[in-house]
């Protein structure tokens, strides 16, 4: 097996791995690339105290239990997996970026763990199956205090939210980017005026 190793980065993408093992010696690892394998669980992730970036997109992960061993994790990419909830993610207290597009998320209950992530600023939930009442979605997002970048396009619930873009901008005071374009101050002022009943 050919592994390209740099001092703080380990590239194990597209190798056909089905589980995590033999990583105990990489204690100084800061970025781990595991894209495009067949990994189903991350419970075997060893203690990697310096790991800041974990790339697990295009695998078969259906559970996020096992992140307690990477306390400094800031970026997690789990796009194109089988996740139906974020249970287990609440231990990633330093997480600032979560990319979880193209999974199997359907309910706001599956998003409950996000409320415990005070550092989370970037959240990609696009192209899932989230279908709930608009108020439920807004409450779930408002529970994450520092959200600045949000991707929700491709979820059934989006079409249910009346005046979707204005509503999200008003609900999330720190929002600076929504789906396909940034939120500039003039747009925010207009959205807030609209919310108060202005034309």
CATH code where residue 118 lies: 3.80.10.10
Half-sphere exposure of 23 (CA within 13 A, CB side): 29
Mean pLDDT of the chain: 94
Local confidence band at 7 (pLDDT 50, 70, 90 cut-offs): low
Distance CA 197, CA 89 (A): 39
pLDDT single digits (tens) 17-38: 999 999 999 989 999 999 999 9
Mean pLDDT score, 143-150: 97
Beta-strand relationship, 9-11 and 4-6: antiparallel
Residues 186 and 3: their CA atoms lie apart, in Å, by 49
Q: How far apart are CA 177 and CA 163, in angstroms?
A: 16
Mean pLDDT along residues 26-53:
95
pTM attached to this predicted model: 0.93
- Give the range of the structural domain holding residue 191, as residue numbers without chain letter: 4-196
Provide the domain count of the chain.
1
* Residue corresponding to tokens 């249910």: 160
- Predicted confidence at residue 163, as pLDDT, reads 95
């Amino acid at each position: 097996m050919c592994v390209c190793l740099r001092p703080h980065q380990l590239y194990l993408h597209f190798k056909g791995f089905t589980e995590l093992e033999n990583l105990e010696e990489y204690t100084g690892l800061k970025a781990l690339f595991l894209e495009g394998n067949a990994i189903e669980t991350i419970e075997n992730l060893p203690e990697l105290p310096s790991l800041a970036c974990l790339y697990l997109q295009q695998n078969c992960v259906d559970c996020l239990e096992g992140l307690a061993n990477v306390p400094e994790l800031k970026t997690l990419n789990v796009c194109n997996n089988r996740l139906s909830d974020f249970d287990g993610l609440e231990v990633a207290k330093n997480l600032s970026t979560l990319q979880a597009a193209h999974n199997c998320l359907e309910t706001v209950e599956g998003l409950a763990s996000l409320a415990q992530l005070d550092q989370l600023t970037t959240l990609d939930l696009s192209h899932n199956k989230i279908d709930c009442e608009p108020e439920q979605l807004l409450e779930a997002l408002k529970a994450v205090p520092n959200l600045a970048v949000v991707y929700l396009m491709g979820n059934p619930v989006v079409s249910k939210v009346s005046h979707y873009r204005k509503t999200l901008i008003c609900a999330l005071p720190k929002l600076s980017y929504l789906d396909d374009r940034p939120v500039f101050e003039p747009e925010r002022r207009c959205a807030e005026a609209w919310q108060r009943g202005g034309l």
